[in-house]
Amino acid sequence: MVAQRAEQGAGPQRLGACALVADGVSFAYRNRTVLEGVNLELHPGEWLALLGPNGVGKSTLLRLMAGLVRPAVGEVRLGDERLERISSWRRGQQIAFLPQHGGYPEDLTVEEVVALGRTPHLGLLGRASQADREAVEWAMQQTQVSAFRHRLLPTLSGGERQRVMLARALAARPKFLLLDEPTNHLDLHHQAEFLALLAGLRAQGLGILTVLHDPNLARLADRVAFLAEGRLLALGQPGEVLTEELLQGVYGRQVRVRLLEGQPVVLLGG
Amino acid sequence: MQKTTYPGLVPPTVRGYGKSMAGRRLLVFLGLLVLLALGLVLGVAQGAVPIAPGEVVRALLGLSENPIITELRLPRVLAAMLVGAVLGISGAAFQGLFRNPLADPYLMGSAAGAAFGVTLAVSLAGGLSSAFAQHAVFTHLPASAILFGFLGAVGAVLLTLLLSGGASRTGDLILAGVVVGSVLVSLTSYLMLQDADRVRAVFAYTLGNLAFVGWNGVGSLALFLLFTFPLLLLLGRTLNALHLGEETARSLGLPLDKLKLLIIGLVTLLIAAAVAQAGIIGFVGLMAPHILRRLLGGDYHYLLPASALGGAVLLVLADLLARTLVAPAELPVGILTTLLGGPFFLYLLWRGRRVAW
């Protein structure tokens, strides 16, 4: 089994750059323990994929790291500060969160939706400044949605809509981007397109944490954290974590792992 | 502060919204203002004694004096405007807050609470109110009834919040509102049965009637609006973020539990003030934001003021119809708005189905 190798297998880490850290966090809904003693560090400029079977607490860990819920035990830190000590506005400026089942506003244009991402930066009167407008432009260009900025969300395809939601998250110019199953319901082409976008953003220094349940997508990340039954089972580079031994132990005997150009490919059956 | 750089940023060529949207907004607001002015003149002109529109305009501009206008017609039309504005804003705010286009300003039990309060006041007043009970449609509500109606509406919303354990869980809030509303309606019915003579008077009130409001009511409603409307506009940003869902709104840094309570509090004050004086007028709070959302889009910074204007226009026109359709008698305006609102929602349902097919 792969030991926790948070320090070794990481992507480009900058000395002194602040990380988003879950330090021994446990969480329970009523009496059901969802997470127990999980340690995870997300660094700027790295893409970390959170993998595991349904219902093991991946989304909960994401929400803990976004500061949306508080851990029962342990703490989440942004740099040296505990997340709950940071004002919610500053938290929103630094950590962007895209839930799996967010709302799709039906009567807002693409540009209006992306502009909502600036909410943590706006003053009391909510007037957008030049910096706000530039950040919205930048986010729309990064995600290639500028061309349909005046269209309403229901008129877009699923892939376009998900890019708009990503632009919304980016508009805050966050340091960390937390995405819950962002490629769900996308076809292969749009999955590839979306993941390529994430890779580009990582190269610009953004720290990205994605919950995924397809191990073959997680392979593209710098590191993979494998969660099972509320505990971190393995953490490391995709090749180290995505082993047949580990995946069979969690998903059953029908899982096979083959190497393709040195990369693990996960298959079902014979 | 360090200046943020944006690699590869092409300077924005289009600032804000496209020209078409800005022009459309201007057009909608101008249209609403024109309709409102038209409604004001027509509403004041129309009645048992018709007054020429020219005379109405002169009186409104203070160039001539006409007691029928200043004592009867003007306060009534202004009441319709203010109550309509309250219903429009409250409907828009609740539709945003509950993220449901069918949310209604009375959702949290305020209407049932106001009806219960007024009925209770009339029952407690006993002999004092016999004169007031003799009229099927009485000319004004006693101050005690207005106060009880206001407190009843506020109390019902507080009870709903208490039962749902605060404003954090929206589903619980709606359920608790339904429970509180139903219980209060039963209690109101029980009180009404105790004193059959007053049934008609209280019943007429619950159907909504703008004749009760008068200059005092107009003044108090205007004050309530003046106080709450700017605050609600500031909360437009919260309502906008709620388009993305509650969790995302929280992740954007909004202290949502407090902000939701604030919105509920402001809407409750407005609705309580309106419903205590004018009774329960249905569908305006549903229709105005609905229509304007289609015309203007979902940005609450525009939708809130437009819904206020739209609600005002709708209610002024509805009241005009209520006064003229069966003249010299009058229909309670609440019956009329419901009669018009029902088909409107059937139309929406039908349209929605056609799209779904």
Three-class SS of B210-249: HHHCHHHHHHHHHHHHHHHHHHHHHCHHHHHHHCCCHHHH
Tell me the C-alpha distance between A95 and A118, whole Å: 12
Q: Identify from A138, A143, A152, A168 which residue to disrupt to test chain B contact, counting B C-beta atoms within 10 A and taking the largest count.
A: A138
Q: Which residues contact A121 (CB under 8 A, 6 or more apart)?
A: A93, A131, A132, A135, A172
The reported pLDDT for the residue numbered B28 is: 95
| Residue A34 to residue B191: CA distance in whole angstroms | 52
* DSSP string covering B23-78: HHHHHHHHHHHHHHHHHHHHHHH-SSS---HHHHHHHHTTSS--HIIIIIIHHHHH
Which H or E element spans position B91? helix B74-97
pLDDT of res. B14 = 36
Q: Helix, strand, or coil here: B194?
A: helix
pLDDT at B136: 39
Strand partners, A234: A226
Look up residue B310 and give its amino acid.
G
| Ordered DSSP codes for A15-57 | TT---EEEEEEEEEETTEEEEEEEEEEE-TT-EEEEE-STTSS
CA distance A138 to chain B (A): 6
DSSP B275-344: HHHH----SHHHHHHHHHHHHH-S-HHHHHHHHHHHHHHHHHHHHHHHHHTTTTS---HHHHHHHHHHHH
Taking CB atoms and an 8 Å cutoff, what residues of chain A touch B236?
Answer: 126
**Domain total of chain B:** 1
Instruction: Give B242's contacts in chain A (Cβ within 8 Å).
Output: 103
DSSP A73-129: EEEEEETTEEGGGS-HHHHHHHEEEE-TT----SSSBHHHHHHHTTGGG--TT----
Chain B positions touching A101 (Cβ under 8 A) are 245
Give pLDDT, residue A16.
45
Whether this prediction's pTM lies above 0.80 is answered by yes
Q: Cis bond leading into B328, ω under 30°?
A: yes
CATH number, domain with residue B264: 1.10.3470.10
What number of H helices and E strands is found in chain A?
A: 9, 12
User: According to the model, what pLDDT value does residue B127 have?
Assistant: 46
Whether the CB-CB separation of A110 and A161 falls below 8 Å is answered with: no
pLDDT tens readout for residues A134-166? 999 999 999 999 999 999 888 898 889 999 999
What's the confidence (pLDDT) of residue B126?
Answer: 60
Q: Is the pLDDT of residue A200 over 80?
A: yes
pLDDT at A55: 82
Low-confidence ranges of chain B (pLDDT < 70): 1-19, 126-141, 197-199, 352-357
Judge whether B5 lies within some domain: no
Distance from CA of B229 to the nearest CA of A (A): 14
The answer to whether the CB of B122 falls within 8 A of the CB of B248 is no
Q: A260 has which bridge partners?
A: A263
Question: In CATH, what number does A20-103+174-268 get?
Answer: 3.40.50.300
Q: What is the pLDDT of residues B10-27, one digit of tens each?
A: 444 333 345 577 888 999
To 10 degrees, what angle do helices B143-163 and B256-278 make? 150
Alpha carbon of residue A170 to chain centroid: 12
Specify if B7 maps to a domain: no
**Contact status of B245 with chain A (Cβ, < 8 Å):** yes
Note the pLDDT of residue B139.
54
Query: What single-letter DSSP state applies at residue B126?
Result: G
- Beta carbons of A99 and B240 less than 8 Å apart: no
Strands A81-82 and A73-78: antiparallel
Partners of A98 on chain B (C-beta within 8 Å) are 248
CB contact under 8 A, A97 and B293: no
Q: Most B CBs within 10 Å: which of A90, A119, A143, as the mutation test of the B interface?
A: A119
B143: domain range?
Answer: 27-348
Q: What are the boundaries of each domain within chain A?
A: 20-103+174-268
The confidence score (pLDDT) of residue A136 equals 95
Contacts of B254 in chain A (CB under 8 A): 88, 92, 119
pLDDT score of A9 more than 50: no
- Take residue B134 and report the two structure tokens written for it: 């003799």
pLDDT of B349 reads 75
CB pair distance less than 8 Å for A102 and B244? yes
B289 vs A: CB within 8 A: no
- Residue A6 pLDDT greater than 60, yes or no: no
